[in-house]
Amino acid sequence: MLELVRSAGDDKLVRMHDLIRDMAIRITRMESPRSMISAGVQLKESPMEWPTDAARISLIYNDIKVLSGQPNCHSLLTLLLQRNPLEKIIPYSYFNHMCSLRVLDLSSTRIKALPESISNLKNLRALLLWNCEFLEEVPSLSNLEELRLLDLSFTAIRELPSGMEVMVKLQCLRLHWTKALRVFSPGIIPRLSFLEELRMYESGWKWSSMITEGARIEEIVNSTQLANLEIEFADLSSFLYYVNSGNWQMMKNFRLCVGSSTSPYYGTNFSVEINSCNLIGEDNSLLLPYNTQWLYINSCEFTSLWNVTRSLNTSELCGCHLNSCEKMEFLMEDEEPLLPNLKEMKMDSMPELLALCKGIPSLDALKSLESLRVVDCHKLKYLRPARLLQQLRSLKHIDVSFCDGMEEIVVEEEEMGKGRNEDKSSVTMTLSQLQTLRIFNLPNLKIISSRVLICNALETIIIDKCRQLKKLPFCMHNLPSALKQIKVGTDEKEWWDTLEWDHPQTKAHFQSLLKFTNDLRQWHSQEYEIPTVELIDYWICGGLIDEQRT
C-alpha cells in the first residue's frame, strides 16, 4: 500500500495508492473526531468555515497566500499547512481558539512573521518551520512547555526565540542551514535535559571552547541525553576538545565539522569533516572519533593520509574524500597500513599529487576498496602499478577525470624504473569485481593498460575526450561477458572510428553496445545510506509527538 519514492532533492517520501488514500480520507471524514483533508486541490484561500469538532486538518500543497479569520477549533490536534506560498497569518489572534493543538506545520511557506498567538499554544508538541526561508524572527516560546520538536532549519533567524530555556521537555532541536544565526545564548542547552537531537549543520553559529559570549562547547559535552548531534566547530582546537571529551561515544549519530561545511551529505551514521586546517606537526595532529565512518578533508595541509587516520578504528571507516589539499604529493608512504577496510576513496583537486603511494605499500593497504575516484589531479601520470592494482580484489568502480598529466591508468613497474622492460600485450590482468570504468577528459592518456584486462563483471564503460587513446585493453578471447553498454561522448565519433582492435569480432562486440551520448555522469551512488523510511506524519515518528499522549 505504501511505496518509497524519491524527490528531486534529498527528501524520502512515501506514496500511497490513490484508491487507498481516497478510502482513508472518507473514513476520517465520517469518524469522530473528524479530519478535514484538502491537500493538493489548488485552493487559493483557506476554507471560510472549519468544522468545530475537527481533530486533524490538512491543507498542504495548495496555493494559499493568506490565512485570515479566527477559526474556532478547540478540539484541533494537528494542523498541516506546509508547501503553500503562505505569506501572512492575520489577525495576530489567529490561533487563540486552538488550545488543544499538538502539531503545527508551516514548513516550506513564505511566512515572514508569526502571529503572537502562537505563544499561547500551551499543548503544542511540534512546531515545524522548516524551509521558511523568509522567516527572521519567532515570537516568545516561553509558554510552550510541552514542546518536543522545534524545527527552524532553513530559516533566516538571527537568534534563537526567547523563552527556550523553559521548554524542558524538548527532545529535538533542528537548526541546520540557519546561515544568519549569530546568537546562541548560554544556559539553554543545560536546561533542555531531555534533548536527544541537535542538528546545526550549515548554521552561522559555530561551537567553540574559547568564546566569551554565547554558548560554549562544554554545554554539549555535559549534556547527558544527546544521541544525535550535527554541529560545526569554530576551530580545530575546539573540535579536539570535543573528541577528547569522549562525548561522541554516547551518540547514535554524529556529523562533526571544523569550519563551514563544503561537503555533500554521505548518509552515514558517523561522519567528520575538516576544513582549512594545518595538520602538519605534533601540535596540529588530528584526533578523530574511532568510530568515524566517513572522513572528508578539504583545503588542509598534511603529508600522508595515514598521519590523520591512525587514531581511527579502521574497521569502521567506509569512505574518505580528499579535496583541494594542495601540498599533498602522496596518499601514503612506504609500508603504511592504510585503511584496509576502506570501501570508497575520492580525491579531487590535488594539484601536487604525484602518485597514490610513495614506494611500495603494505599488502593490506586499501585492500577492501570498492570505489576509486580521482578528479582534477594534473601531476598524476598513472593511477596505480599493475601488480598493486590487482591487490584491490574488491574494486568495483574506477573514475578518472580532468587529470591533464594522466598518461596511463595501469602502469608497468619497469616504466617506473623498477623492473625489466618486456612486451605485455599477451599478459592478462584480472579485475574480477570491476563493474564500471569511467575515463573523462584525459587529454594525454595513451594507454588504459598494456595488459589485456579480464573483467567478467564489467557492465559499463564511459569514455570522453581521451583522444590520445588508441586501443581498449580487451581481446577477442577475453571479452567482458557482462558488458551492457559503452557510452562515448557525441563529439567522439571520429576518435572511435580510429581505434585499433586485435580482431574484427572484438570491434563488432563493442560496436553493438556503443551509445554516443552527452549523458556521461557518474554511474553510481556509493554513499552507504542508512536504509530507513521517514514517514511524513510527524505525530507517529517514534511516538515523539503522538497526539494521543497526555
Question: Is 15 part of any domain?
Answer: yes
Stretches where the chain sits below pLDDT 50 are: 7-10, 418-421, 523-550
294 membership: H or E segment, kind and range: strand 294-298
Question: Is 20 part of any domain?
Answer: yes
Per-residue model confidence (pLDDT) at position 3: 60
| CA distance linking residue 386 with residue 7, whole number of Å | 42
Question: Is 1 part of any domain?
Answer: yes
| CA distance linking residue 476 with residue 487, whole number of Å | 20
Per DSSP, the three-state class of 150 is strand
Distance of CA 147 to the CA centre of its chain: 28
Per-residue model confidence (pLDDT) at position 107: 98
Question: Is 2 part of any domain?
Answer: yes
Query: Is there a contact between 255 and 279 (Cβ–Cβ < 8 Å)?
Result: no
C-alpha cell recorded at residue 429: 590482468
- Compute the mean pLDDT over every residue in the chain, rounded to the nearest whole number: 87
Per DSSP, the three-state class of 2 is strand
Q: Residue 17 is part of which domain span?
A: 1-31
Distance of CA 374 to the CA centre of its chain: 19
Question: Is 259 part of any domain?
Answer: no
Domain count within the chain: 1
| CA distance linking residue 213 with residue 182, whole number of Å | 11
Question: Is 13 part of any domain?
Answer: yes
Query: Is there a contact between 388 and 358 (Cβ–Cβ < 8 Å)?
Result: no
105 membership: H or E segment, kind and range: strand 103-105
Question: Is 11 part of any domain?
Answer: yes
Per-residue model confidence (pLDDT) at position 272: 95
Query: Is there a contact between 356 and 329 (Cβ–Cβ < 8 Å)?
Result: no
Question: Is 513 part of any domain?
Answer: no
**Phi/psi at 119 (nearest 5 deg)?**
-65, -15
Query: Is there a contact between 363 and 337 (Cβ–Cβ < 8 Å)?
Result: no
190 membership: H or E segment, kind and range: helix 188-191
Neighbours of 504 (CB within 10 A): 10
Q: What is the DSSP code (8-state) at residue 160?
A: P
| CA distance linking residue 283 with residue 274, whole number of Å | 16
Residue 139, preceding bond cis, omega within 30 degrees?
no
Spell 295-312 as b/e; 16+ CB within 10 A means b. Answer: bbbbebebbbbbbbbbeb
